[in-house]
């Protein structure tokens, strides 16, 4: 641990202690050494913080420590599997509003990042929004041969990358120290928590990746209705600058303005929920930070407008099918299907009972039917699901954690728009349509095409395998006697024939059985 990392670590500990952040920890469940440490930390707690709630204390401490720690808290909010359901829910309220950096620095940042093309950005406004790692300005783009366009220009904070890496080093040091001094803390996986933050932030610190995310989603939703995203202006994109079309809309949290503009909030809630499910289930690629600050409504069409694509989620075909089947099982009250799918994909060990797991799933699903969104808390539902899966030795799936968090977030926003929202009725068209397509001829053809493509790749490697086998035989020819040489040749031939036979068998199974 370097001196600088040690200093930063102790400074962070002092600020957390002064702001009363350690009161958030469940001291009664911690080992004696950690209890003593928390008791000592609370001795320096400022008296005034005792008047606020524990969550407010933690959020205040993270804000005081700076952008890296704010982002750290927001990242923890996406990992209920690590910090727990309640802590994740509390941290999800951590606001991303930070003081803007000096506007005098803006021209220099743009010039360095974009070169001569920076001059095409004119009438740059004061910061419209300032977040933990970047801020956004409104500007006018005057490209040669094109009409002027209103654009949003997002810029990373100067020095944020260096600040982040320094803070991350101290967090890694603290995590290793915690694991060394308190073996009991290892179950909380502090190093993995920091590694999650590190990976997430490295992605967010390159705005070219955010531009690519917008581009990919735009291709996915080009034929969709009800969900709008900005367009990227690639000539004005760099590692620390992102320029997109300006999106005019009413903040989705401003219900009074929505009502005044005549926006149908019930329809808006349905569009939001269905769009998210369509992106997740159909495309396997979804906006994973759909909090109210990133969502607007188009007053003319009543469509959802989404911005800020710094955090995206991706799930594979198997996970998409799993999600669709789970939702469809809950919608149709087919709890046996829900349970069986958990076993089929290996989420629950085969040593457990499918019937018992189906009964546990029923205990979650039955209270949901016939209820409106006002009566259902998806956060509580997921909390109960985590408890049940722990009872049945189900391991947390990292690829689904961000999806689960995003579903809770979207459900919460939709609920505020329409307290009478029937989640299952709204979800059924999206889930049912995808499942019918997957089970139909088109879905089968796509599956067959994918299988044949993989088999073709495998078959294409056979000549290389033969060449490698012959080379190995020739190298050993001078070292082995004739009988053994014939044995090697016969063994190699048998292996090659078995490989070809396996490929043919797989092709036959795909053609007659519909899959691998």
Q: How far is CA 42 from the centre of its chain?
A: 35
Question: What is the 3 state secondary structure string of 266-334?
Answer: HHHHHHHHHHHHHHHHHHCEEECCCCHHHEEECCCCCCEEECCCCCEEECCHHHHHHHHHHHHHHHHCC
**Buried/exposed code over 92-112 (b: 16+ C-beta within 10 A; e: otherwise):** bebebebebbeeeebeebbee
Helix or strand holding residue 337 (H, E): helix 335-344
- Beta carbons within 10 angstroms of residue 271's beta carbon: 22
What are the catalytic residues? Answer: 289
What are the φ and ψ backbone dihedral angles of 253, each rounded to 5 degrees?
-85, -10
Whole-angstrom distance, CA of residue 120 vs CA of residue 116: 8
- Beta carbons within 10 angstroms of residue 324's beta carbon: 23
- Residue 121's SS3 state is strand
Q: How far is CA 110 from the centre of its chain?
A: 30
What are the φ and ψ backbone dihedral angles of 93, each rounded to 5 degrees?
-85, 0
Helix or strand holding residue 450 (H, E): helix 441-460
Q: CB–CB of 339/314 below 8 Å?
A: no
Q: CB–CB of 161/205 below 8 Å?
A: yes
Whole-angstrom distance, CA of residue 483 vs CA of residue 489: 10
Q: CB–CB of 152/137 below 8 Å?
A: yes
Q: Would you give the DSSP letter of residue 101?
A: P
CA distances from 184 to 1, 33, 180, 188, 394 (A): 22, 10, 10, 8, 21
User: Contacts from 180-185 at CB under 8 Å and sequence distance 24+?
Assistant: 181/33, 182/31, 182/33, 182/34, 184/30, 184/31, 184/34, 185/34
Residue 327, C-beta contacts closer than 8 angstroms, at least 6 positions apart: 277, 427, 431
Residue 447, C-beta contacts closer than 8 angstroms, at least 6 positions apart: 514, 515
Q: Would you give the DSSP letter of residue 474?
A: H
For residue 96, give the nearest of 48, 136, 124 by alpha carbon. Answer: 136
User: Both ends of the chain: CA-CA distance in Å?
Assistant: 51
List, in sequence order, the alpha helices (H) in 150-253.
160-181, 190-204, 207-220
Query: What is the widest separation between alpha-carbon atoms in the chain?
Result: 93
């Amino acid at each position: 641990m370097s001196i600088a990392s040690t200093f930063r670590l102790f400074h962070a500990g002092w600020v957390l202690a002064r702001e009363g952040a350690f009161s958030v920890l469940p001291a009664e469940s911690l080992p004696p050494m950690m209890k003593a440490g928390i008791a000592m930390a609370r001795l320096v707690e400022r008296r005034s913080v005792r008047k606020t709630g524990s969550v407010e204390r933690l959020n205040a401490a993270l804000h005081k420590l700076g952008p890296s720690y704010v982002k750290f808290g927001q990242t923890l909010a996406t990992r209920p599997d690590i910090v727990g359901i309640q802590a994740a829910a509390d941290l999800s309220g951590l606001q991303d509003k930070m003081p803007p950096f000096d506007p005098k620095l803006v021209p220099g940042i743009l010039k360095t990042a974009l070169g001569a093309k920076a001059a095409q950005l004119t009438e740059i406004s004061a910061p419209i929004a300032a977040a933990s790692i970047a801020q956004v300005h409104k500007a006018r783009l005057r490209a040669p041969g094109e009409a002027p366009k209103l654009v949003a220009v997002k810029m990373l904070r100067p020095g944020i990358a260096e600040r982040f890496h320094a803070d991350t080093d101290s967090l890694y040091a603290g995590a290793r120290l915690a694991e060394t001094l308190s073996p009991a803390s290892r179950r909380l996986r502090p190093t993995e928590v920091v590694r999650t933050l590190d990976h997430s932030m490295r992605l967010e610190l390159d705005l070219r990746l955010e531009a690519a995310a917008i581009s990919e989603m735009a291709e996915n939703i080009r034929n969709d209705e009800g969900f709008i995203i900005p367009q990227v202006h690639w000539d004005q994109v760099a590692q620390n600058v992102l320029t997109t079309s300006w999106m005019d809309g009413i903040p989705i949290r401003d219900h009074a303005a929505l009502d005044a503009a005549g926006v149908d909030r019930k329809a808006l809630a349905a569009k939001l929920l269905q769009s998210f499910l369509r992106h997740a289930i159909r495309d396997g690629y979804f906006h994973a930070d759909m909090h109210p600050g990133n969502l607007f409504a188009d007053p003319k069409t009543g469509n959802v407008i989404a911005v800020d694509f710094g955090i995206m989620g991706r799930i594979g075909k198997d996970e998409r099918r799993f999600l669709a089947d789970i939702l469809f099982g809950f919608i149709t009250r087919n709890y046996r299907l829900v349970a069986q799918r958990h076993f089929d994909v290996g989420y629950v060990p085969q040593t457990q009972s499918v019937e018992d797991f189906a009964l546990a799933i029923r205990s979650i699903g039955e209270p949901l039917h016939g209820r409106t969104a006002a009566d259902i808390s998806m956060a509580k539902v997921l909390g109960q699901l985590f408890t049940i899966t722990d009872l049945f030795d189900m391991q947390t799936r990292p690829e689904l954690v961000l999806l689960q968090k995003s579903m809770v977030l979207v459900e919460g926003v939709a609920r505020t728009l329409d307290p009478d929202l029937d989640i299952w009725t709204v979800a059924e068209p999206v889930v049912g349509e995808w499942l019918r397509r997957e089970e139909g001829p088109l879905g089968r053809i796509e599956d067959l095409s994918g299988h044949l493509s993989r088999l073709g790749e495998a078959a294409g490697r056979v000549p290389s395998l033969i060449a490698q086998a012959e080379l190995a035989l020739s190298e050993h020819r001078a070292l082995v006697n004739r009988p053994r040489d014939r044995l090697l040749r016969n063994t190699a031939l048998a292996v090659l024939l078995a490989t070809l036979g396996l490929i043919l068998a797989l092709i036959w199974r795909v053609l007659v059985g519909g899959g691998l």
